[in-house]
């Protein structure tokens, strides 16, 4: 009986804290047609990722730099689970008045951009 109780407690703990979820910090870069895409010193990228599937539609915001590089550390620095994500992106330059991408990727429900978050560096290509 004691073994059953311990096993039950372990299962409950794993379900509460996400036992076995392989979350990681994700780094990447934004490119346009394969070339670096940047904003001026008055600009800012607004970048987030929304899971394509699953019950939880948690949004993961990226910290961006003007050179187009970014990092996603996830909530409380716990990382991001692997999987397919829709990409929500705006290139505001100058901030906050003009989106250089004309809001093409601004809505996570209609953006054509998606990425597969795994172990490699992400490349978000906004096309030509």
Structural domain of residue 53, as residue ranges?
Answer: 22-125
pTM, entire model = 0.79
Percent pLDDT > 70 in the chain is 80
Beta bridge partners of 83: 117
In this structure, what DSSP letter does residue 38 have? Answer: -
pLDDT at residue 5 greater than cutoff 90: no
What are 42-54's pLDDT values in tens digits? 999 999 999 988 7
Question: Is residue 47 one of the residues assigned to a domain?
Answer: yes
Residue 58 phi/psi, 5-degree rounding, is -70, 135
pLDDT greater than 60 at residue 21: yes
CATH number at 51 reads 2.60.40
Mean pLDDT of the chain: 84
- pLDDT > 90 in the chain, percent: 63
> What three-state secondary structure class fits 16?
helix
Flag whether 15 is in a domain. Answer: no
Q: Give the count of domains, the chain.
A: 1
* pLDDT value for 23: 86
Whether the pLDDT of residue 6 is over 50: the answer is no
Under 8 Å between Cβ of 71 and 87: no
Angle at 121 between CA 47 and CA 60, to 5 degrees: 30
Q: Judge whether 78 lies within some domain.
A: yes
pLDDT in tens, 40-85: 999 999 999 999 887 667 899 999 999 999 999 998 888 899 999 9
């Amino acid at each position: 009986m004691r073994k059953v109780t311990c096993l039950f407690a372990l299962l409950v703990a794993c379900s509460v804290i996400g036992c076995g979820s392989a979350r990681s910090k994700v780094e990447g870069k934004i490119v346009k047609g394969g070339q670096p895409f940047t904003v001026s010193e008055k600009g800012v990228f607004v970048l987030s990722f929304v899971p394509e599937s699953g019950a939880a539609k948690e949004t993961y915001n990226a910290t961006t730099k003007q050179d187009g590089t970014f990092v996603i550390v996830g909530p409380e620095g716990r990382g991001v689970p692997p999987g397919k994500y829709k990409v929500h992106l705006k290139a505001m330059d100058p901030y906050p008045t003009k989106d250089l991408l004309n809001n093409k990727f601004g809505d996570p429900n209609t953006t054509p951009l998606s990425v597969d978050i795994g172990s490699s560096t992400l490349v978000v290509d906004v096309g030509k």
